Amino acid sequence: MATRTIDLFSGAGGLSLGARLSGMEVALAVETDRHAATTFKQNFRSARLINKKVEETSAEDYSGYEGVEVLMAGPPCQAFSTSNQRTRNDSNPLNNLLFEPARIAQIIQPKWVVVENVPGLDIGSRRKYLEHLTEMLRNIGYTVSVHKLNAVMYGVPQNRTRLFVLAGPKSIEARALESRMEVYQCTVRDAIQDLPSLRVGADVDELPYRSEPHSELSRSLRGSLERCTGHLVTKNNEAVIARYSHIPQSGNWSNIPPTLMQTYRDSSRCHTGIYHRLRYDGPSKVLGNFRKNMLIHPVENRGLSIREAARIQTFPDEFEFSGSIGKRQQQAGNAVPPRLARAVLSIIGDQL
């Protein structure tokens, strides 16, 4: 019988996909956003989905799932991210959602609890929230370890560091996670070169591939498909389009002539991630909200498509996102990279 998992704050299902890839069965998920919930349900059809806020769930919602082996959770990270200081404070109502996995663990008593968040949770004034979560888990009876892992070391073509709290009957040693590292670090080219050429505002969702798969990564994510979905690109105005051609690979807004940046009150204060053109022969920077940040395709003068972002996150091409283009972009960019989740959960699986 496969190891059963529950996924809290599931989003589109990055953690759940990692669980599936490590041989686990996703039994139940909780997600309040209806678009992400729809995406989850259409990709995990055998799982039960509760479409409401995790903090509003009670013991009744988890009836029949007592003793499930693994409880996973990716609570909202806005309150702990260092990229937005306006939300990184004690008044943010999302802060206490971090403690929900411990509350649910008391109800169902899983063998392992896996909580994922941003590394900023362990920095400065936010560290007290991490310490309180680990204390809650220890008081339930778990042995707790905390790890910061860069996805690029686990077969993901993206420099994306995440923090994992692992709670179970024994501590997970760092060397165990190091044993799952990949020798070859994947690049953006490995991820997306076989996908179709697109234009700004591309609006045909399903298209054939441009070429045969050209890397282990593209081959594994593509499978036996001849076409896939997600080839949608944000439509930009002419002022934005004019800026793209001035930016080299690894460049950003600072490469744009000042005469083309006059719509900004003070362009010198732009974040370094704005108008960043990805480099083909290296990993991507953190995707996050790739539409808002104006992340640019390595050689085409446009933003990333949903499928390109999904590939960089290591979602397989059969995985389909639901909702408007903006909702799909948010789901793809916010997810835990499935290959990173697989590495962590395979370690947990070895302990069961």
Where does 209-311 show beta strands of DSSP type E? Answer: 227-228
The two structure tokens encoding residue 179: 């044993």
Which contacts (CB < 8 Å, 24+ apart) does range 131-136 have?
132/99, 133/98, 133/99, 133/101, 133/102, 133/165, 134/165, 134/167, 136/99, 136/102
Q: How far apart are CA 110 and CA 107, in angstroms?
A: 9
The question of whether 186 is a catalytic residue gets the answer: no
User: Minimal CA–CA distance to 283: which of 228, 237, 340?
Assistant: 340
Strands 207-208 and 227-228: antiparallel
Where does 134-218 show beta strands of DSSP type E? Answer: 143-150, 161-168, 207-208
Residue 215, classed as helix, strand or coil, is coil
Type of residue at 182 = E
Distances (CA, A) of 243 to 42, 275, 278, 288, 299: 38, 9, 15, 21, 14
Where does the chain show beta strands of DSSP type E? Answer: 4-8, 25-30, 48-50, 70-73, 112-117, 143-150, 161-168, 207-208, 227-228
CB atoms inside a 10 Å sphere around CB 198: 22
Q: Residue 18: CB partners within 8 Å, gap ≥ 6?
A: 336, 338, 339, 340, 341, 342, 343, 344, 345
Among 77, 186, 228, 270, which one carries the catalytic annotation? 77
**Which residue numbers are catalytic?**
77
